[in-house]
């Protein structure tokens, strides 16, 4: 079955009151992991312009509304590509309190608008590079590996630190979850088949979604990636996601439309990882 968010699972947006994640008899009651991030979130330093920092070009409210939305449904053709798609992430994640302009480079043109929420979850995006007064972030838009620069002055930004790292090896059919370098588990998974391969590179946990009528997965975790071969899927943007699968025979094989299917034990661990946390997919 198909859905508008990912490649394999039917899903819906969650009411905000159902954000906490709880597992009872292996069924997710609710998701949206805002609480995990909120525990360590703090106002972003640099509410005032830093001396010597390049100032951003002014973007009016009307101009901001006209920019491409930096979400999984969006496309940001003017956004620069990730210069180090297999490099480590810093662990710093960023959340805008209001829609924020994203620039091609510090002092350059605005190329996208970063929204407050993504698929009903609060927007948390990873910082991959910093300059005086600016942070470079990964964007969840097409094309894959889109990035942009956010000006840190003026307030309205919060940051947190996530020590979690998710590592996926397509060739080994393996997912490993780390917390500050300590392994929380490693499991055999199923990945994209020939023609709809799972894309590679660094990305992040974009959102947490509970299916309206759970069939083969009680929880869907969309990533900031899209299928390289499917421009749309089930009427949606072809977002790649992590999710469960009831038949263990699929694990260790390339059988999906690009999503990564994981065992229930892995999904339980993944459900506790804060949004914005690093996901690295390699061959």
**85-128 pLDDT tens trace:** 999 999 999 999 999 999 999 999 999 999 999 999 999 999 99
Q: State the pLDDT at residue 276.
A: 98
d(CA 235, CA 243): 19
Output DSSP code: residue 125: E
Is 75 in contact with 8 (CB distance < 8 Å)? no
Q: State the pLDDT at residue 28.
A: 31
Q: State the pLDDT at residue 41.
A: 54
pTM across the whole model = 0.85
CATH architecture of 16-37+163-282: Beta Barrel (2.40)
Map out the domains of the chain as residue ranges: 16-37+163-282, 40-161
d(CA 3, CA 134): 36
Task: Report the candidate in 254, 208, 198, 248 with the shortest Cα–Cα distance to residue 7.
Answer: 198
**129-164 pLDDT tens trace:** 999 999 999 999 999 999 999 999 989 999 999 999
| Pairing between β-strand 201-204 and β-strand 239-244 as defined by DSSP bridges | unpaired
Residues of the chain with confidence (pLDDT) below 70: 1-51, 234-235
Q: State the pLDDT at residue 47.
A: 52
Q: DSSP letter string over 52-71?
A: TPPPPPP--HHHHHHSPB-S
Q: State the pLDDT at residue 42.
A: 52
Q: State the pLDDT at residue 213.
A: 82
Q: Which two tokens stand for residue 64?
A: 């901001």
- For CA atoms 269, 273, 278, 279, the dihedral sign is positive
Q: Residue 143: is the preceding peptide bond cis (ω within 30°)?
A: yes
């Amino acid at each position: 079955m198909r859905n508008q968010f990912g490649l394999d699972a039917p899903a819906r947006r969650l009411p905000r009151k159902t954000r906490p994640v709880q597992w009872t008899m292996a069924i997710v009651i609710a998701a949206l992991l805002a609480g995990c991030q909120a525990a360590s979130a703090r106002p972003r330093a640099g509410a005032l312009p830093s001396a010597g920092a390049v100032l951003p070009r002014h973007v009016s409210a009307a101009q901001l509304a006209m920019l491409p939305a930096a979400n999984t449904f969006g496309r940001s053709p003017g956004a620069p590509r990730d210069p180090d798609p297999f490099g480590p992430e810093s662990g710093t994640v960023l959340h805008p309190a209001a829609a924020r302009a994203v620039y091609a480079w510090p002092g350059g043109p605005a190329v996208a608008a970063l929204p407050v929420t993504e698929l009903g979850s609060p927007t948390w995006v990873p910082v991959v590079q910093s300059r005086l007064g600016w942070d470079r972030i990964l964007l969840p838009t097409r094309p894959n590996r889109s990035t942009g620069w956010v000006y840190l002055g003026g307030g309205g930004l919060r940051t947190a630190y996530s020590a979690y790292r998710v590592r996926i090896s397509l060739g080994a059919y393996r997912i490993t979850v780390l917390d500050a370098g300590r392994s929380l588990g490693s499991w055999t998974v199923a990945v994209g088949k020939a023609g709809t391969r799972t894309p590679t590179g660094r990305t992040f946990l974009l959102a947490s979604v509970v299916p309206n009528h759970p069939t083969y997965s009680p929880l869907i975790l969309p990533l900031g990636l899209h299928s390289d071969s499917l421009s749309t899927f089930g009427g949606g943007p072809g977002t790649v996601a992590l999710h469960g699968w009831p038949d263990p025979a699929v694990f260790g094989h390339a059988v999906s439309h690009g999503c990564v299917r994981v065992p229930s034990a892995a999904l339980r661990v993944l459900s506790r990882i804060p949004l914005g946390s690093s996901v690295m997919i390699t061959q």
